[in-house]
Amino acid sequence: MRWITVCPVDDIDPEDLAPFDHAGQSYAIYRDEDGAVFATDGLCTHEHVHLCNGLVMGSQIECPKHNGRFNYKTGAAERLPCVRDLKTHPVRVVDGMVEIGMED
């Protein structure tokens, strides 16, 4: 696994998310209320709208287009019209920087 640096962890507020693009792929990087970091694909599985303008509520991200929801910790689709799960990605914080893990 390769670890790619995303941004300083403090750039993302608790209970919020930020977009991250790498190698033509969009990701969404989240922090929950306690500040723990998570990552998923960046585009909604319903109509591929970027989730970065969505709303983080507890463990859920609500898509800004049709209010579908995913659990961003597990990727599970939890509210219609989202029916396909979101892919999650490994993520860690090293020296205050968020890193996302990419398969080799």
Partner 1 sequence: MPKDTFVEKRDYSLTGPSAQRAIELGLASAQWYHSEVPRKVMKELMQRRDGPAIRDTLIWFALLGLSAWGGIQFWGNWSCVPFWAVYGVLYGSACDSRWHECGHGTAFKTGWMNDVVYHIASFMVMRNPVSWRWSHARHHTDTIIVGRDAEIAFMHPTSIALNILHFIGVVDVWQWLKILARNATGNLNAEERNYIPDAEVPKAIFWARVHVAIYAATLVAAVWMQSVLPFMLIGGPRFYGTWHMFMTGLIQHGGLAEDVLDHRLNSRTCLMNPASRWIYWNMNYHVEHHMFPMVPYHALPRLHALIKDDLPAACPSIPAAFAEMVPAILRQRHEKGYFLRKKLPSSARPYREDFHQTAPARSDKGK
Judge whether 75 and 68 are in contact, CB under 8 Å.
no
Select the residue interacting with partner 1 from 6, 29, 39, 43 (CB under 8 A): 43
Least Å distance between CB 87 and partner 1? 15
Only segment of 31-39, 65-73, 87-95, 96-104 that touches partner 1 (CB under 8 A): 65-73
Question: Is residue 7 a contact residue for partner 1 (CB under 8 A)?
Answer: no
Interacting residues of 96 by C-beta distance below 8 A, sequence separation 6+: 8, 9, 10
Residues that bind ligand FES (CB under 6 A): 44, 46-47, 49, 63, 65-66, 68, 81-82
